[in-house]
Amino acid sequence: MTDADYAAWLADHAAPRVVLCEMEHGAGTEFLASHPYISRPTDAVPNRVYDDLLAEAIDIETRADARLSFGEVRLVNDGALDAWLGYAWTGHAIRLYLGGPGWSRDDFRLHARGINQGISGARRGELVFSMVDQSARLDEPLDTGTLPLGGGPVPLALGSVYNAPAYRVSTTALTYRASYLAATALTPKELGNTVPHTDDLAGGAFTLDNAPGGALTVDIQQADDTPAEVVAWVAAQYGLTVAENGLSGYTVGLYYAGPVSGRQILDDLCRGQGGYWYLDALGQLVVRQHQVPTVAELTLAPDDVLFGSLELVETQQPWASLTLRWGRNAAPLREVAGTIEANDASEAERLKREWRESVATQALPDYPLAEEVTRASPLSVAADAATERDRLLALRAVRRDVWRLEAFLPEADVGQAIAVEVGALSGRLGRVIAVRRSPTRGITTLEVWV
């Protein structure tokens, strides 16, 4: 079956659908279905029986806030599944496939992939499992190792990091660790003044020629200094595939002195750049930047929308001003070297402050309650900060609304530009920010940002 054939089948709301569910556990895999099904003798896995124990379809919701949610996996249990109560389910994979009752198993398509949270309910006639999306893996802290001498986790520096702490790692030499990852450049400073040293860039460390007489910090340059490179690095740590990486090519810097997870890094990366990320239903990482749509990728006519389902669920006031914080100082100093105070007042001030700020305002006389907003960003260059500040401010020059609707729609993606030619949305373009779909009902619930 070709992709076009499958898409045409999805678009046929009268076509019967079958959900196949493969649930792994500590002792093997169970094969279930919403309708009796056996794979064909000619399939890649021939004559596999899928027991028709799925009691209801599993709804899947994808949002632009990095949360994918699933309905429960609810099974019919007449007592034959009681032994399953003792299986180790938690943390194992659940895979859902969608197709037709008379199809070859090879023509079914992977519909969603998730992680089993274990049994959430068991009573007469029913066994229920909770399912979470694979982004739960991104909540696991990264293992950066431990500093000697009771120093805690080895810090993680990504990209261009200004004035980070340095941690001594030897009792016999003036050797200091700057970061877990290899660096492309290290600039140690005493009270902000550069000091002679020898680099160990591969080890993210350096050795001073002389003992420091004041606060020791270091500027770190690490190879992954663009959003695309940071996203790729995070994905590699968690074994994820990057399906889309749509952030701007700014120079960024992120620094963590304590435990940090992949979710936190992605959140910090997107925050302040008007970006968002999520794992799609197949577990692939999607990273995008909010943009005002200019051309509809998806158009819904009145007949496509369930009558009476369109509702306004949120209004967002425009922004009268935006203060974009950038160029974070990872270790602000209380005291700065006298030579810097005397000769470079701008650098002396930067060494004492945690953030630099890029500020802009816009006149909005029609919106007396327009907001004054402050955002922190990982941006490291003044020109990038000004560009992104102006882009975000323009994006919020008018009130933005969020509408919810139900549509006779087989597929839609978060981030799609959409035109809904119904009621108050007629003639307007928006972005899909949430999609909730049922594999069998053929009705999709959308949230649209306009």
Answer yes or no: do 101 and 179 share one domain.
Answer: no
DSSP type of residue 335: S
Model pLDDT, residue 82: 93
Q: Splitting the chain (450 residues) into consecutive groups of 10 residues, what average pLDDT does each group show?
A: 85 83 95 95 96 79 67 88 94 91 94 87 91 83 90 94 96 95 98 96 97 95 97 95 92 96 95 87 86 91 92 96 98 95 95 97 95 97 97 95 87 88 94 82 86
CA-to-CA distance for 171 and 148, rounded, in angstroms? 10
Residue 249 belongs to some domain of the structure: no
Answer yes or no: do 73 and 209 share one domain.
Answer: no
Model pLDDT, residue 4: 87
pTM (2 decimals)? 0.82
Answer yes or no: do 44 and 116 share one domain.
Answer: yes
Residue 281 belongs to some domain of the structure: no
DSSP, residue by residue, 19-85:
EEEEEEETTEEEEEESS-EE--TTSSSTT-EEB--B-S---EEEETTS-EEE--EEEEESSTTGGGG
Residue 72 belongs to some domain of the structure: yes
Question: Could you tell me the CA-to-CA distances from 381 to 162, 239, 395 in Å, in that order?
Answer: 11, 31, 21
Residue 217 belongs to some domain of the structure: yes
CA-to-CA distance for 87 and 90, rounded, in angstroms? 9
Structure tokens at 122: 């068991």
Answer yes or no: do 122 and 150 share one domain.
Answer: no
Answer yes or no: do 68 and 124 share one domain.
Answer: yes
Model pLDDT, residue 68: 61
Answer yes or no: do 30 and 102 share one domain.
Answer: yes
Number of domains present in the structure of the chain: 3
Answer yes or no: do 8 and 62 share one domain.
Answer: yes
Residue 378 belongs to some domain of the structure: no
Model pLDDT, residue 114: 84
- In the listed set 132, 158, 183, which residue is the last one of a domain according to the structure? 132
Task: Give the residue numbers spanning the domain of 44.
Answer: 3-132
Residue 181 belongs to some domain of the structure: yes
Answer yes or no: do 17 and 125 share one domain.
Answer: yes
Answer yes or no: do 303 and 439 share one domain.
Answer: yes
CA-to-CA distance for 189 and 331, rounded, in angstroms? 12
> Which among 156, 171, 299 is positioned nearest to 233, based on CA atoms?
156
Answer yes or no: do 113 and 41 share one domain.
Answer: yes
Residue 385 belongs to some domain of the structure: no
DSSP, residue by residue, 229-262:
HHHHHHHHHTT--EEEE------BEEEESS--BH
Answer yes or no: do 15 and 93 share one domain.
Answer: yes
CA-to-CA distance for 98 and 59, rounded, in angstroms? 13
The label of the residue with tokens 């169970």 reads 30
